[in-house]
Amino acid sequence: MTTGFAAIPASGSYVLRNARAPACLIEAGSLASDRDGLALLDIAVEDGGIASLLPAGTPALDALPSLDLDGGIALPRLVDVHTHLDKGHIWPRRPNPDGSFMGALSAVAADREANWSAGDVRARMEFGLRCAYAHGTAAIRTHLDSLGKQIGISWPVYAELRAEWAGRIALQASPLFGIDAVADPAHMRAITQAVTTHGDRLLGAVTYMVPELDAALDTLFRTAIENGFDLDFHVDETNDPSARSLEHIADAALRHRFRGRILAGHCCSLSLQPPPDEARIIAKVRDAGIAVVSLPMCNMYLQDRQRGRTPRWRGVTALHELKAAGVPVTIASDNTRDPFYAYGDLDLVEILREGTRILQLDHSDRDWVRAIATTPADIMGLSNAGRLAVGGPADLVLTRARDWTELFARPQADRTVLVNGRAIDRTLPDYRELDHLMASAT
């Protein structure tokens, strides 16, 4: 059993003394923060919840059992708003043949057709959830491949896992299919039924520049309005600057006066637009109330890949410009050990560390940590996740790192994760547990 470095007091009431926490994630009035935006405070825990968040050294807490964190950073458990649990861990039986986006599409399609039974999907999804939980994740939104027979296989499995994981990880799911499938009424009926019966009132699709794009978007927006669904899109995952379906989504949202939540993922080609076009599209995205999630590790892996040629582009969207314009922005894990991304472990501390390097989030605003905490929690409609609040759950990720450079320099493998004030077992599942599934490769 692995619980990390911290010896949490056995009492139901205790104090975490001299913790540093991002001031932007603390909902407790004003606390002085340092140049990194970190506040030094004492966190009082009582019966699994946060009883108080007070400046470090507050005498009123002296009588309680305590643990001195010696300035170590404490984060709330984190929120991963864009993943693919159903694709996870198929790499050993179906690797990407050349590391390209098209190679990923073809490999996943072949593996899905050959191997994605209910038992296979369940085992791999649960493996991913165990990894995320051990790393300190509180909530996950996953996309589920939703074409043909897979709709009837994956959605009931997802609903079962959501119920089984309640209280550990809050789950949401959005259907994933190409925008051209919207023209098939039978497909849309099946999707609407699956989302209504098993889902979380979320509808989504992959958008790209096809002649029927605007008509398909109109159908999706009308379906969402009629059923009270929010929307989540995969958008412009390409280095082709003519790919501007993000602007079409914004136009559709404004045209339909859509009042639900909209999340757009990837948006890679936005960063390759001429500056006037980029500014126009971003303004529409802001006015339409669209949030954007960047997937830095996956997109750096796939985008601008040509055999024998060094990549010239990091693959990510114009996240700084979106944030500066007032668009809610977040970063997330995306794929895990599948043809779209060969690596990863659903570890949001890793995502923030690598995202900071890839997107150059340092030497910038001091609140980028919101991108894996409060912002995705708000997108998911979760008021108690991704923040430190009096009366909220004592769900925390404790580290020995005292500033961002220490946090990002090492993987924080010795972190302690608290759920309802108690340290959880952080032992990660062994990949060998999936070996029996990999034997089914065809």
CA neighbor of 70 nearest in space, from 398, 386, 353, 424: 398
Contacts of 12 (CB under 8 A, 6+ apart): 46, 47, 48, 421
CA neighbor of 95 nearest in space, from 402, 338, 281, 307: 338
Is the distance from CB of 347 to CB of 410 less than 8 angstroms? no
Is the distance from CB of 353 to CB of 407 less than 8 angstroms? yes
Q: Which of 237, 247, 278, 350 is catalytic?
A: 237
Catalytic annotation present for 247: no
Our CA angle for 5, 420, 158, nearest 5°, is 105
User: Phi and psi of 29, rounded to 5°?
Assistant: 75, -160
| Number of Cβ atoms within 10 Å of the Cβ of 187 | 16
Tokens of 132: 């995320």
Q: How far does CA 196 lie from the centroid of its chain?
A: 23
Distance (Å, whole) CA 291 – CA 261: 8
Strand-pair partners of 216? none
Tokens of 412: 């924080």
CA neighbor of 100 nearest in space, from 304, 270, 335, 296: 304
Is the distance from CB of 323 to CB of 329 less than 8 angstroms? yes
Residues annotated as part of the active site: 237
